[in-house]
Structure 1
Amino acid sequence: MNPRRAPRRTPRSVSADDLLSTLGRLTARARAGAEHQLARVELAEALQREMLPASLPSLPGLRTAARYSPARHGLDIGGDWYDGFRLAEGALAFSIGDVQGHDAEAAAFMGQVRIGLRAVGSVVADPGEVLSKTNDVLLSTGPELFATCSLLRFDPGTWELHSARAGHIPTVWATVDGRYGMTEDEGGLPLGMLPGAEYPVTRRRLDRAGSIVLLTDGVVEGPSFPIDVGLERVVEVVREAAGADPDELAAEVMKVADSTGHADDAAVLVISHDAGGPASR
């Protein structure tokens, strides 16, 4: 007995109108998806920019400048920040940091870190303690992200800098008398990783006519571009521009990011002791 054969199907003809209708539906779906992703990017960028400070604190003899560059990888955006605010006892604080991830969630977490630093700093003056208490506050909310950070306390009466570091990249510095370098202070884990983390404090002075440059890894790291190479480039830029206007110096440092082909956002914060300002004690 021969097996039954399946009935042969007659190919269905497709009209031009059918093709246009199908293409129209696919195009509308793709456009809706792209608009949704674009809306997410614009929301993250708006969150990020609104949370950055409109200005940085300054004093006679102290000049500051900052740069921030959002860089998109596909349709994502990061969580880098810089900030300056008053600490307890009248000292100034300057911070810079980088949140893990590249999306609206990272931008929102960046805002939580900044608010935490400011809130704790309003009652605590020691930068190591500020980082430690902020870390505990963040962990109490059950975060899924973490953030690296450098925090500097500037004492306007003595021109001393007290710095603490939470897993962040080194600081670059230079003076007009030819000294320059890269400083990687002893530090602790990134914020949001381990309860009770401690952050040692390093004390130094801000030299007259000297500059300290804080930055995020988006400035110095890119695809197939080692972070060490980028840091050395920044050191050279800061050395050559020692004594320059902080705004110009920040712009020159940010140019390093353009040369790395980086896919991350980037932030630069420059703190300078104005040679024309009051002499340090």
Structure 2
Amino acid sequence: MRGHRSDPPDSGQELLLTLGQLVDQALERIKLQRARVELAMVLQRHMLPPELPKLPGLQIAGRYSPSRDGLDVGGDWYDAFVMMDGSLGLAIGDVQGHDVEAIAFMGQVRTSLRALAEGTSDPREVLSRTNNLLISMGFGLFATCCFLRFDPVSRDLTVSRAGHVPMIWATAAGRSGIALDSGGPPLGVVRGERYPVTHRRLTEAGVLVLLTDGVVEGPTYPMEAGLAEVHRLARRGFDADPDVLASAVIKVAERTGHRDDAAVLVVRYDGPPVPG
């Protein structure tokens, strides 16, 4: 009696089965990546203010451009809010990294800074306390930040920086500049750091431009060149709609070749109120 000999496997069928398994695995990876991106985008969206304050004599506009690496989001953020004494708090920052952990840390920075600003009107104290709080949480990450307090009555401006990009300003009288004020190290690095402050009185109408390094710096594009370009835009557009100026400034990031995310906050203010 002869033994039964099975037919050899069909190589084409094996190839189809293998391809099917690879496609299934690829689809699962795509679904996982898509879920991570959607989660990160939701987190990023909720970390930016849904609307900016409206105060007499002030117009504020913000812009955010996502990273082209990682999850297409990052740790750049901006915020503007009215404090208990009626002054305006303005903040912009940049957190190390481009992932969900960076976004979570960014949320801690923004929330901590805003909460601590309710207890003091001094930007130096706000940054110092935020810095100590972040270190105590043990994230192991750092963030740069610029925090301003603007009094809409006296037109006094107080600025404190933690390792962040300088602010740019321009006035209706034709004066302008890059505010190279002294600052301290990034938040989350040195416990007990005391951040210096700079005081100004805004005696004429003008504009302030706050931004992150993703706007003005790239692999082959020095920060000085980017700051000079934004300075030029501020001089030309100091009296323009802040939304228009903010859109023009965020486009500078396209020229730098940087793949980082970027944020811009533009504040246009009128001159001091007329006495009486």
State TM-score, norm by structure 2: 0.92
Q: Paired residue for 1:184?
A: 180
Q: Does 1:113 align with 2:109?
A: yes
Q: Answer whether contact 1:208 1:280 (CA < 8 A) is retained.
A: no
**Alignment match of 1:35 (pick from 31, 35, 44):** 31
Q: Paired residue for 1:63?
A: 59
1:280 CA drift (Å): 8.2
Q: Which runs of 5+ in 1 are unaligned?
A: 1-11
Q: Does 1:81 align with 2:80?
A: no
Q: Paired residue for 1:7?
A: none
Q: Answer whether contact 1:159 1:280 (CA < 8 A) is retained.
A: no
Instruction: Tell me, in whole angstroms, the C-alpha distance in 1 between the residues paired with 2:254 and 2:275.
Output: 36
Q: Answer whether contact 1:148 1:167 (CA < 8 A) is retained.
A: yes
**Alignment match of 2:166 (pick from 157, 166, 170):** 170
Deviations 1:166-191 (A, max 9, x none): 00011111112221111121111111
Q: Which stretches of structure 1, 4 residues or longer, exceed 6 Å deviation after superposition? A: none
The alpha-carbon distance between structure 1 residues 280 and 36, as it changes in their structure 2 partners (threshold 3 A), is farther
Q: Paired residue for 1:160?
A: 156
Deviations 1:29-67 (A, max 9, x none): 122223212221221111011121111223211111111
**Alignment match of 1:17 (pick from 13, 16, 29):** 13
- The two structures, once aligned, show a CA RMSD in angstroms of 1.8
Q: Does 1:223 align with 2:219?
A: yes
Instruction: Tell me, in whole angstroms, the C-alpha distance in 1 between the residues paired with 2:131 and 2:70.
Output: 31
Instruction: Tell me, in whole angstroms, the C-alpha distance in 1 between the residues paired with 2:30 and 2:258.
Output: 23
Q: Answer whether contact 1:88 1:124 (CA < 8 A) is retained.
A: no
**Alignment match of 1:232 (pick from 208, 222, 228):** 228
State TM-score, norm by structure 1: 0.90
The alpha-carbon distance between structure 1 residues 22 and 36, as it changes in their structure 2 partners (threshold 3 A), is same
Q: Does 1:133 align with 2:129?
A: yes
1:279 CA drift (Å): 4.2
SS of structure 1 residue aligned to 2:149: strand
Aligned partner of 2:199: which letter? R
Aligned length: 269
1:93 CA drift (Å): 0.4
> How much identity, in percent, do the aligned residues show?
57
Q: Paired residue for 2:3?
A: none
**Bigger Cα displacement from structure 2, 109-118 vs 21-30:** 21-30
**Alignment match of 2:200 (pick from 186, 204, 208):** 204
Aligned partner of 1:196: which letter? G
Q: Paired residue for 1:90?
A: 86
Deviations 1:11-46 (A, max 9, x none): x97610101111111122122223212221221111
Q: Paired residue for 1:214?
A: 210
SS of structure 1 residue aligned to 2:153: coil
Aligned partner of 1:65: which letter? A
SS of structure 2 residue aligned to 1:199: coil
Instruction: Tell me, in whole angstroms, the C-alpha distance in 2 between the residues paired with 1:280 and 1:251.
Output: 35
